[in-house]
Every structure is written in C-alpha cells, then in structure tokens.
Amino acid sequence: MVRKKKKNNLKVTRQLVTFYNPKSHISEQYRSIRTNLQFASVDKSLTTLVITSAGPAEGKSLTAANVAATFAQQGKKVLLVDADLRKPTVHFTFHVENTNGLSNYLIGEHNLKECIVRSTAANLSIVTSGPIPPNPSEILSSKKMQQFVAEAKAEFDLLIFDSPPVLAVTDPAILSKMCDGVLLVVRSKSTEYEEAIKAKEQLEQVKANILGVVLNDRDQKKKEYYYYYGKGQK
C-alpha cells in the first residue's frame, strides 16, 4: 500500500510540471499557451474557459491542470472545475477526495464554498466532479449550472472547466455557451485529421468562441512538446 501511494504521488508530480518544475521546457510551453490565450481574448477579459478535446486520451485534462497552474503563478485567483461528469480525473491529478464536488452543488446538496478545495499551488483552487450522476448533460445545462458559473466568477479571476471530449458527448457544447472561450486539444499522431475538423465544426455549430488549438505530444526531437494555434492560423 505504501509503494502504491508513493507511485501515485510521483504521477501527480509529473502531471503538474508547471508547479513542480516551473523552469522546464515543458512548463515554458504551457506559459506560451497562457500568453496566447490572453492575446486571443484581448478585446474581452478572459474569465471563463472550457478545455476539451476531440476524443479521449488526448491530454485535455493534463493541459487544463497545467494551464490553470500557469495562470495562478501569474497572480490570478484561479478555479479549476472538473466538469467531466463521466470520467473525471482532476481529483487524481491533485490527489484529493472526490466525495463532494460539482455534481453535489448542481443537485443542491452543498454550496460553492463547501465544494472548493485549495490546492498546494498558490492561487489555485479546484472543484472536483463529485459523484458521477446518471444525467450529466441535463444537469450541466440546468439553471443551477449557470448559477455556479455566476457565483464562482464573483470569487475568482478565472474559471477553467475540464470537460469531456467533443465527439463523445454534448457536454462541451453546453459549457461553451456559458463561457468566454474554448481551447481544443488534439494529440500528435493520435487524433485523426477528420476528427479534429469535426470537433471544430461541432463547436462552431453552437457558436462557441474557439480561442485556439493545442497540438499535444508532438515529436520531441525538435525539443517541442506543445504547439498552439490561435485564430487565423492553420
């Protein structure tokens, strides 16, 4: 049991590279994403952001956690929300319990303050998914979710929502209507070109404000881990 716990802690360290190794090249790439997001939303202050992917296992949760950490390091008060009410992972990343979170708030069991957990990173708090509900799309599209966003915006400078993949469910499209922008993550040599285009089109159909695309896990022979493509770039 002790060995297993130690292994989990090492996993957390690797994932939150921007916190545990802020001077690394990978951390610098995350900071580049932060900078590009700020430029992409120059006409309007970015207060709510959805991070999603075309399909599963493309790195959207890893990206959400580290981008949240980089904004927090900039001095912003950030709340990372696990809005993936189907396969949540934020509680694994931050090594916290997932007994009380977003789903508890949405059904009226707990208030916002009771759902917030402070992370070890300064200025960064999280809300885990909570127990997985039988109707994720329905409760995410409820007035209670809109209330959650409004209340959280009053307490934090930036809300980042880790959402499920676009092509799997409608949840990201629902969340995008409540937020300032969407960041789409695709994985090099994994995400099919057609899938990426389809994900983009589905977000555009609901008039989501796509701020950019992150190309994750590119061949490291060129010493690059993440690429960011913003508006107007191909």
- Whole-number Å distance between alpha carbons of 34 and 201: 24
- Tell me 45's DSSP state: -
Range of the domain at 130: 2-230
Token output for 34: 């932060």
The predicted pLDDT at position 221 comes to 56
Of 64, 94, 72, the C-alpha closest to 162 is 64
Q: Any idea of the CA torsion for 59, 61, 67, 72, to the nearest 10 degrees?
A: -160
Of 112, 115, 78, 113, the C-alpha closest to 98 is 115
Q: Show Cβ contacts of residue 172 under 8 Å, excluding neighbours closer than 6 positions.
A: 50, 52, 163, 164, 165, 166, 182, 203
Residue 146's identity, in one-letter code, is Q
Question: How many other CB atoms are found less than 10 A from the CB of residue 159?
Answer: 25
What are the DSSP E strand ranges found in the chain?
48-53, 78-82, 117-118, 124-127, 158-162, 181-187, 210-216, 226-230
Please identify every stretch of the chain with a pLDDT value under 50, giving residue numbers as ranges. 1-14, 222-225, 232-234
Dihedral pair phi/psi, residue 34, rounded to 5°: -60, -45
The predicted pLDDT at position 3 comes to 38
The predicted pLDDT at position 44 comes to 79
Q: Specify the DSSP element, H or E, that contains 29.
A: helix 25-40
The predicted pLDDT at position 218 comes to 67
The predicted pLDDT at position 149 comes to 98
Kindly report the CATH number assigned to the domain that includes residue 87: 3.40.50.300
Q: Show Cβ contacts of residue 25 under 8 Å, excluding neighbours closer than 6 positions.
A: 223, 225
- Whole-number Å distance between alpha carbons of 136 and 163: 11
Give me the number of domains the chain comprises.
1
| Tens of pLDDT, residues 44-86 | 789 999 999 999 999 999 999 999 999 999 999 999 999 999 9
Residue 206's identity, in one-letter code, is V
Is the whole model's pTM more than 0.85, yes or no? Answer: yes
Please count the CA atoms within 13 angstroms of the CA of 168 that sit on its side-chain side.
18
